[in-house]
Amino acid sequence: MPEYGTKRARAAAFAARTALVLSLTLPAAACDGLLDVQPEPHTVPGEELEKPTALEARMIGAEANFFMAYDMAIVFGGLFADELFTGSNSLAVEQRRVTPDDGTIGAADENEEGIDGLWTPMQRAAFTSNDLQEDIVAGVFGDRTPGAADSPQAARMSLFAGLSKLVLGELFCTTAFNGVGPEYTSAETYQLAVDEFTVAIEADGAEEDVLNAALVGRARAYLHLGELDLAEADAARVPADWVYIADVYSTNSAAEENDIWNMLSDSQRYTVDERFRNLTIDDTGEPDPRVDVFQDPNNPVNQDGSTPLFQARKYIDATSPIRLATGTEALLIRAEIAAARGDAASLDQAVDLINQARALYGITQQYTGGTQQEVLEKILDEKGRALFLEGQRMGDLRRFRERYGIDRFPTGEGYEDNVCMPLPNAERDNNPEI
């Protein structure tokens, strides 16, 4: 299991910067698959954290911390990349000129304007997952976690720890964890995510959904690292039609609502970017079912009163779920790896994998291929459509620009050339090891 300094030092440093939320009330209906622990309607006092009876509350709290941060991570990543657009709000993110002292990105948690923060909530998600993971492996919970390191609970917490690190690595140029350093590059952060996912994958008691989600996550991290054979092997283990849907959002409180819906449909701060409007399948004129975007004639502009408001039907209300990991992503990871190899047989394989991914959405139109560059461009386009607003886009755009010279980041007057967000001063100023 990855090590990040002594538990007491990490906890003290992190607690000095942000409150540690260990439980959040979630609706019982949300308990399914990965979230099959019954929620606790209260927080866990500090002196109770290592008692066996705290396990269930801490698990649901750690998972809730991730999901309450992940929806806004998707929003900020989509805005920095090319999925979302803003007329007047958050221009620094849209135009790729986020500075280290940006308060929303760096320090904000739940704020009155409805725009939740990014760095602090994602850091909390990483910390609570790792903290509980360590206690489980140490045997704190006795027979509640049979096999300790091999238990379903350890595997699940390792999955969420890995996802937290993967997302932070994709969005930020450098990272640090738990307030004690060191400062990691994106590549080093991806390796930390690999280590977490490996714990989940190798746990004998891992549930099937946890195993598959960890395989997709590790394949994605390996792909970023250029470890193509390892990424391909992981992705090939995931059934093509497998999907994990995080059906965890509710109307119990504003914090528990899906923030993607909030930003697009409720507060109407952002709109779907024109690159993802009115998409059709190749040159057929048939609407692409993977990107179902609409403009309400009774509500056609966003908050600024002039920017056209396009909403995503997949996030139609406050309780709309998010697909956390899918066999589709695994297929398209394999397609990219095949195309990157570039020989004729590999390009044929990439084309076949693209068409397999299309078929999962009922798309019968067959892609027929092209040059290596054309196939790679098609894969980036297919990933953008199939995984629209699911959290992968910014990492994909960074990788395709760096590795293949395919740049799809938006440009224009006022835009800068950054491909990631800087480590916030909120972290740098409070981390004694940076």
Residue 254 has which token pair? Answer: 């504003």
Which pLDDT score is estimated for 90? 73
CA dist 75 → 105, 182, 212, 393, 403 (Å): 12, 27, 25, 11, 25
Q: Which two tokens stand for residue 149?
A: 């390191």
Beta strand pairing status for 243-246 and 184-185?
unpaired
Number of neighbouring beta carbons within 10 Å of residue 77: 25
What is the model's pLDDT at position 361?
A: 98
Q: What is the pLDDT of residue 21?
A: 38
Query: Which DSSP category does 33 fall into?
Result: G
Q: Give the Å distances, CA to CA, from 288 to 36, 384, 393.
A: 34, 12, 18
pTM of the predicted model as reported, rounded to 2 decimal places: 0.90
Half-sphere exposure of 153 (CA within 13 A, CB side): 28
Q: How far is 54 from 57, CA to CA, in rounded Å? A: 6
pLDDT tens for 37-84 read 333 434 555 555 566 678 999 999 999 999 999 999 999 999 999 999
Q: Return the pLDDT at 52.
A: 66
Q: Show the low-confidence residues of the chain (pLDDT under 50).
A: 3-42, 112-113
